[in-house]
Amino acid sequence: MRKYVMAGGGGLLCLALLGIDSQGSGPPLKKAKPDDTLVMALKIDRHIAAEYQATKAVPAPAASDAAFARRIYLDLAGRIPRVSEVRAFLDDKRSDKRRKLVDKLLGTSNYVNHFTNVWRTLLLPNNNNQQVQFLSAQIDAWVKPLIRANTNYDKVVRDLLTATIANRMGGFRPVPGGSGQNAVAFYQANEMKPENIAAATSRLFLGVKLECAQCHDHPFAKWTRKQFWEYAAFFGGIKPQNVAAGVFSPATDNPKVHDIEMPNNAKRVQAKFLDGKKPAWKDDDKARDVLAKWVTDKKNPFFAKAIVNRYWEHFFGIGLVDPVDDMRDENPCSHPKLLEELAQGLIDHDYDLKYLIRAITATKAYNLSSRQTHKSQENLRLFARFPLKGLTPEQIFDSISTAVGYREAPGFRQNFVGFGFNSPRAEFLNKFANPVDRKTETSTSILQALALMNGRFVADATSLERSELLAAVIDSPFMDTRQKLDTLFLAAFSRKMRGSEAGKLMPYVSKGGPSGSTKKALADVFWVLLNSSEFILNH
């Protein structure tokens, strides 16, 4: 059987920490304390290797250091690395430099900003409604401090589910001991309607697409219409704002309401958990407090698995259960024992999401090349190679900015279009606002392609007069043509030119291209790199 060792020597180190040598034997090490994340990474790889063996899959070779650097920066920082960052990583001779880079990135503002974008996208409906876009600022203000502090995930969800809604439009009273005053934006984005909030929370935090049972029994799963409204009853005390006959009624919340009326039959149903159990109500119990306690309970069969599956999808482009919000018996998990083990590991570490990130990124599976070398690697759910992932609009903008040296005004990261002044970021993101169901299935519209090829931002980014990087490269007296081209490749792809590329581009630049200008020829090359599929994919 093929030996299955994590890239960069991490697997061998983990085996040593566990008291096992590379031949599977050896005396136990009593004094060494295993690194929890490496232990979990090894367990993950064992589950995946077992599936390789069962299906006769052949894993791809390990990704190069350059490929890993670009991949991990995109996944954790939301942007490609700078030329200086790539060179520093490539020059680092430490055997554990990949893990060191993960630790470094998890402590940066880029990580905080990127995962704020990730969670905003999850918490807000996927549309261009200007009101929802406006609420994004409130969501950001609530989420960002939680990510920065690495707040335990179960606490984050409890705070959101128990956010107190004041009896006035847009009002909010923070929960005592809660972690922010803007969680109410989540309720506003769902129109303060119990059915919308129920659908969103079950999908986000339990991995259950319950809304399919809102009007009739779920056509493909066990969920019934009655179960949908029993779950929605936990939010039954919330009444959306209303304007009728010129009279405005603000949104209200009666937390003691434990039931809700089902539409079309005037039947009221009592709140009940999705596992079929009824809450043991006490006189002073608030409905959403009781729900939050059940949702985040360590024995909840959905909660930990749902977030583990979401983070797996973030890093691999496809979940262990796919789609990630459709966890049901009829939609089986690709590696059920792995999902169980990861979920239990997260629970044992008090829902520390950085622990989960460190474990996933330390696996051999995450460190594989994306280049397909065997037919068995076509099945992405085997994780026999790293899947190609399309970049989000924010990743594209921030990566172009990084590549060309563009700097936004300090403290100004406007993400929506409107209210007079629109930043380059807002205008760019507005053109790319078409989320896809799967990260591994991407498409670019004609308008998006034109924005990349001819848009003002990209044009300025590859302009001899405006591009900071181009100016530095072109005017450098210390680099020859080959070194200048290598630097542009490092800026865009985090790697140097390959021999075949150099054979075409060196003569092109030396002759000055169509204009006869070496400077313009270098700008042409940079424009081509930024418009290539290699640039707009995470691989």
Angle separating helix axes 353-361 and 97-106, nearest 10 degrees: 150
Please choose, from the candidates 102, 84, 74, the residue with its C-alpha nearest in 3D space to the C-alpha of residue 363.
102
**Alpha helices (runs of H) in 463-498, residue ranges in sequence order:** 468-474, 481-493
Burial of 442 from C-beta contacts in 10 A (0-12 / 13-18 / 19+): middle
pLDDT tens digits for the chain (539 residues)? Answer: 333 333 444 443 343 433 434 344 444 544 445 689 999 999 999 999 999 999 999 999 999 999 999 999 999 999 999 999 999 999 999 999 999 999 999 999 999 999 999 999 999 876 556 677 678 888 999 999 999 999 999 999 999 999 988 644 444 444 433 444 568 999 999 989 999 999 999 999 999 998 887 776 666 667 888 999 999 999 999 988 776 656 666 778 888 899 999 988 778 999 999 998 999 999 889 999 999 999 999 999 999 999 999 999 999 999 999 999 999 888 999 999 999 999 999 999 999 999 999 999 999 999 999 999 999 999 999 999 999 998 888 998 899 989 988 877 655 555 544 444 467 787 777 776 655 566 776 655 545 555 666 666 676 666 777 778 888 898 888 999 999 999 999 999 999 999 999 999 999 999 999 999 999 999 899 988 988 889 989 99
Q: Rg of the Cα trace of the chain?
A: 26
Domain regions of the chain by residue span: 112-295, 390-538
Please choose, from the candidates 319, 326, 331, the residue with its C-alpha nearest in 3D space to the C-alpha of residue 302.
326
Q: Report the 10 Å Cβ neighbour count for 378.
A: 11
Which pair of structure tokens corresponds to residue 6? 């994590």
User: Is the bond leading into 323 cis (omega within 30 degrees of zero)?
Assistant: yes
